[in-house]
Amino acid sequence: MRSGKASQSGFTYLVLLTAVAVIGVGLVAASEVWSHSRQREQERELLHVGEQFRRAIGLYYERTPGPVKRYPEKLEDLLEDKRYLVRQRYLRRIFADPMTGRAEWGFVPAPGGGIMGVYSTSGRPPIKTANFAEENRTFKDAGSYSQWQFVYLPTQNAGNRPPSPAAQQGLVR
């Protein structure tokens, strides 16, 4: 016959194993929530950084001296535009890709040469698949972050551009 003490130690062992299993499941669930939250934050950062690149590429393009507009040849051209005597800066630094953590971006080549946009090199599927701003409407239902391409197209902003100084003075009709 068993003593009461031996059966109690077996019961305590089972309770301890059950508690460890429950804590493990809780930690897995908490890490999943944290991971999702972290990815959403990275997505917001990618949207912000991508918009900074799009804006900088647009400024570089629109401020091209002379009648023929040009896109930057490399991202470093956005840090210091050497086409002018006075330093022109469109970005303070080349941002790291929030999805990969590296300052390596994919480039959307411009038809006449140069870079007209950037995209993340991450192949991960995004959490956000809808409700994008108008300029990012093509991101809807994208299968990976590399399909979120931040491209500057002059025709997109033609209606939003202020009139040129010459047009404001009535020199151009």
Q: Can you give the pLDDT at residue 153? A: 94
pTM: 0.73
Share of the chain above pLDDT 70, in %: 84
Task: Name the token pair of 64.
Answer: 């091209």
Residue 169 lies in a domain: no
Distance between CA atoms of residues 92 and 156, nearest Å: 25
In a domain, 164, yes or no: no
pLDDT at 120: 96
The total number of structural domains in the chain stands at 1
Low-confidence ranges of the chain (pLDDT < 50): 1, 158-173
Q: Does residue 173 form part of some domain?
A: no
Count of C-beta atoms within a 10 Å radius of residue 100:
17
Q: How far is CA 149 from CA 109, 120, 139, 168, 171, in A?
A: 11, 8, 8, 34, 38
